Chains A and B, each alone.
Chain A
């Protein structure tokens, strides 16, 4: 908006040469007062970050001792040395973390930008946002909290993205040589990146839920088919892979508009698969990222359509091996292919079908839909018998060529005994190879390492063929947001100690021991009446399990946000619904204002909401930024053993009593609240360690005595079952005798006596002195 007045005389006054220029009016009318930090800059929440970082000091684990980001270097930073620019190891590690989180946040924000632009073009700026009809009052909790705005239409989201893009640019610039010098400031910026990432993801998901009519906060979202075995390979098969769904939707729409549903199989991997089943429950999911290579090599797909993120860089080469044309559909992932966006469909199809081009770049989702379907139908009959997976005979023959150099095993991220299994195969026994399948993450580094060029990954796939074909499971399609009413429903059970906590199983599939562990954790905690949330690859892995009755976890446990539910919120960009549920608690129960009120709400969540994130197979930079979004809200995150490669943990020190004081908002006193939660970022080596830690990290200073008793019960019970011993820190978590679980009373009283335990009070906890309440005097 721009107003220019040369001269104006009125009864009010005289104005000469006034120029009024307003970049953007971001609010029309607001129902709620805006808090102190709308659209926070990189430093606006720094003090809050420092409070957290004081409690959870960064513990660095350099993945690499040198810095080679500028030509001063390489600089060796080991043993307290500084680099040519003056940076030390701690700052360098946190700088790399910031880089990773910027990449992650940029990915989601760019994804959101692409989606919003595409959807605005298709549906218009004014399309109303709707994520849950009348059951969701607070429809964009993260955006409200961070930005202090209440987006109502698709167009409103563009402003929010402007802000995200600006912030990421600032953050990224801080990693340049000679910028930030303090590791703590880098860490604060890491938190900022994570927060921005949450906003970006939320924008992406609420845009697609609203425009594509995905399930809207629906606990009974459809059960969809997942697993290699659910794909009908007798039909032409299109494989979609990536994270940004429009091109996959282009395919489904084309099939529908042309009466071809059921004639062509649409199968997907990763989040595009999540999101396509939210659009069309008949679409099929093959599995998470680890299935990419094995699925292509199986020869089942007739056409491969890739969009963006977490797609194998060699997908074009692999697709060529099975003579399946590949369509790239994202400007971020063009794979060197010729841009055919403007070409006529028939010309592209003809080139792909006749093998004149191995693939095409098409940056128009509708065109992708038409080309993919037409190509699949024409290509399928031509390549029916083509398979690159060697026959059993060839596996055995190949295995005999193995020189036992162990390069494959050394290259394997999970140290799988590949060499040993190949030796068995050489004797004609494929069982050992088949066993590797469950834990193989499908990276094929073994093949690259093999001096004999043995297609080892394909060996594993052939050996496990039967298992693969038996992969037939059900997953509840991503439901999106959590309803406000569901949160109200669980308020009572949480304070009365009937629900011990909320656990979010999120992130990638780089598991130490296969996806089974994710399903097992989900079920164990659902059985214990926790609320279990899932998203992304973890949500898929949680489905790929069968109990003794042949049912998948999503069939056994309900999809409602309630005790014992296993709740799939959706793809990676659905993660903010998890943070959003925690944010909404503050609004619903305490009537805290959300708009631009980040610090107060984070303080509320950190001290009161017993939620824990578990990213058991976290691999990507996106996973790093997703985790850091949770940290800034004060929600702890546990990662699997590979997570230590993120270079630093945020670990609390329960032995330092002084770290665990909070203000009692009722009195202003500083009160020892115990190490709850003990850590903010923790890598567990085993599933067992993770499970004990999950139960422990659900404790919060505000727990009612009943709530604390049940949380302690699960912590102690899991510790005894999985470690075979009582935990050594029970006395830190018992505040009054009413906290002691009654079924363990005698033993715990002994422990308390031995440790010199003294009763203490349950505070109304906060880390922020400004939230200490003043007693109102009688008027």
Chain B
């Protein structure tokens, strides 16, 4: 009655975290001892795929002894909605599905794959790639019904793997180049994600080719695949609509989507800026950008950073000032992948406006920071206060220094040295109406006794 009755071992997500030590292994495929290995998904025309075919080129599991073998897994898929752009998304499922199989461990992806089969599962009868192929086939078809036809080939013959490897590397390269080259201008659809609404009911993400979801877990390609597979699901298509501001990244379709999904709380979003109408933030964003008024620049702090940022606040405190689906001028949650995007805060001057970030974070995106500014961005090792930061920026001739000339009054303030730390953190807010303080009346109390067991003094908020 189960989907996998003809597979001698169990199949389920509970095996995902299973680790197989070499001592318990029957053999391994790929991994550090094998130079060339790969796994690859290709989208093919309908007539080029023989649905359900599983081929093995080279020795099968039952012919293997306890050592490392070359491996290549080629999954060829076809379907009306299957396109080359989804190959990467479909390919990552190989990792997930292989790990569902009891006694099969799969690590890494692409040209780094490493699989181990446990002796125990081998003894239970998992002795041919055909069975692994069957599992992959059924899971693919069940989870991604857009795949109408699928054929799977396992390569273990060294010569053949080497040959296919060259081809696979070219495909990866081309795919990466295409993904990097894909601009928001090139597509007609963005994707929206409401997954976080289960915990942050007022947050909704807009995902574009050049702006990853805040969590860093969902790319435009992932969104595209998910929306096609389950059009009614929490990840959905957004028609881009009219481009209202190409620099700030405002699109009528994104505005409409947010209006609908935040129940009208958010009506405008500008995707490439931290000011005005920045993207809203959930709670699990990878990093946050924050405005530092004293130097008119932006800082970045990421979730893994344990210390305090240059403005004296921790990641938690900064995150807390923007989380929960709010739109806060000057503060918003971002992903690392967005930092790698050419659209990264483009309306605010991009990397030229970034003045501080933790060393770790800088290291992770260093290849994407323009060479002329990279050394001008301070880290916790360079400065620890805003005053030191201002001096650092001045000394390094950071591009924001130019801005100070335009606003001489607000230029790096020295007087606030200690106060800045102690003070309550104040977010830029729209000016509030002055509270009327008035006279013109008299209070006359005679023989009054006021007794309060407790008095709560609450700051007035509007």
Measuring CB to CB, which residues of chain A are less than 8 angstroms from any residue of chain B? 11-31, 33-34, 38-39, 134-137, 148, 484-485, 488-489, 491-492, 494-496, 527-529, 563-564, 585, 587-592, 608, 665-666, 702-707, 710, 713-714, 717, 736, 738, 741-747, 750, 764, 773-778
Contact = CB atoms under 8 A, between A and B. Distances in A.
Interface string B1-23: 11110000001111011000000
B445 A15 contact: yes
Contacts, number: 215
Among B443, B447, B454: residue with most chain A CB under 10 A:
B454
B160 interface: no
B443 A23 contact: no
Given A743-B11, A776-B264, 19 more contacts: A12-B443, A14-B442, A16-B445, A17-B448, A18-B445, A20-B450, A34-B456, A134-B306, A135-B314, A492-B217, A589-B200, A589-B284, A589-B324, A590-B325, A742-B139, A744-B3, A745-B3, A750-B1, A776-B265
Contacts of A741: 12-13
B196 interface: yes
B457 A25 contact: yes
Nearest to A761: B232
B452 interface: yes
Interface in B1-55: 1-4, 11-14, 16-17
B127 to A, nearest CB: 21
Given A17-B448, A25-B457, A702 B16 contact: no
Contact of A135 (B230, B306, B456): B306
A137 B1 CA distance: 51
Contact of A27 (B200, B316, B444, B458): B458
Among A13, A485, A702: residue with most chain B CB under 10 A:
A485
30 contacts: A14-B444, A15-B444, A15-B448, A20-B450, A21-B452, A22-B455, A25-B454, A25-B457, A26-B456, A29-B424, A30-B457, A30-B459, A34-B456, A137-B320, A485-B303, A491-B196, A495-B284, A589-B283, A590-B199, A590-B202, A591-B326, A592-B324, A710-B13, A713-B14, A738-B233, A742-B142, A743-B3, A743-B11, A750-B1, A773-B263
B324 A590 contact: yes
A591 B321 CA distance: 9
Contact of A707 (B4, B198, B233, B304): B198
A686 B281 CA distance: 44
Contacts of B457: 25, 27-30
A527 B450 CA distance: 62
A23 B456 CA distance: 11
A134 B316 contact: yes
B454 A23 contact: yes
Nearest to B307: A134
Nearest to B1: A747
Interface string B83-112: 000000000000000001000000000000
B289 to A, nearest CB: 16
B2 A746 contact: yes
B459 A29 contact: yes
B455 A38 contact: no
A25 B455 contact: yes
Contact of B454 (A39, A736, A764, A777): A39
Contacts of B139: 742-743
A590 B100 contact: no
Nearest to A486: B303
A705 B454 contact: no
Nearest to B17: A529
Contacts of B11: 743
A33 B12 contact: no
A23 B450 contact: no
Given A13-B442, A590-B324, A704-B198, A137 B316 contact: yes
Given A589-B324, A743-B100, A776-B263, A564 B17 contact: yes
Contacts of B233: 705, 736, 738
- A-B residue pairs, 6 tightest by C-beta: A591-B324, A491-B284, A589-B283, A776-B264, A13-B443, A589-B199
Contacts of B445: 13-16, 18
A747 B306 CA distance: 47
Interface in B257-279: 259, 263-265, 267
A686 B17 CA distance: 26
Contact of B314 (A12, A137, A773): A137
A589 B282 contact: yes
A585 B196 CA distance: 12
Contacts of B80: none
B75 to A, nearest CB: 16
Interface residues of B, number: 73
Among B143, B197, B259, B439: residue with most chain A CB under 10 A:
B197
Nearest to A740: B142
Interface string B408-435: 0000000000000000100000000000
A134 B315 CA distance: 9
B263 A775 contact: yes
A703 B201 CA distance: 12
B78 interface: no
Given A743-B100, A764-B201, A488 B458 contact: no
A713 B13 contact: yes
B59 interface: no
Contacts of A592: 324
Given A137-B316, A564-B17, A588-B323, A30 B196 contact: no
B405 interface: no
Given A591-B324, A705-B234, A746-B2, A495 B199 contact: yes
B194 to A, nearest CB: 9
A564 to B, nearest CB: 6
Given A21-B450, A134-B314, A747-B3, A488 B303 contact: yes
B324 to A, nearest CB: 2
Contacts of A776: 263-265
Contact of B308 (A24, A134, A591, A666): A134
Given A488-B319, A743-B4, A743-B100, A23 B307 contact: no
A713 B14 CA distance: 8
A34 B11 CA distance: 50
Given A137-B314, A742-B139, A16 B446 contact: yes
Contact of B217 (A14, A496, A563): A496
A755 to B, nearest CB: 16
Among B4, B14, B195, B307: residue with most chain A CB under 10 A:
B14
Among A20, A136, A592: residue with most chain B CB under 10 A:
A20
A202 to B, nearest CB: 19
A743 B238 CA distance: 30
Contact of A775 (B14, B264, B439, B454): B264
A764 B450 contact: no
A17 B447 CA distance: 4
Contacts of A16: 445-447
A491 B282 contact: yes
Contacts of B303: 485, 488-489
A488 B283 contact: yes
Among B4, B13, B17, B234: residue with most chain A CB under 10 A:
B13
B316 A23 contact: no
B198 A702 contact: yes
A437 to B, nearest CB: 32
A353 B326 CA distance: 68
B262 to A, nearest CB: 8
A134 B284 CA distance: 18
B284 A743 contact: no
A13 B199 contact: no
Contacts of B461: 33
A465 B11 CA distance: 44
Nearest to B266: A776
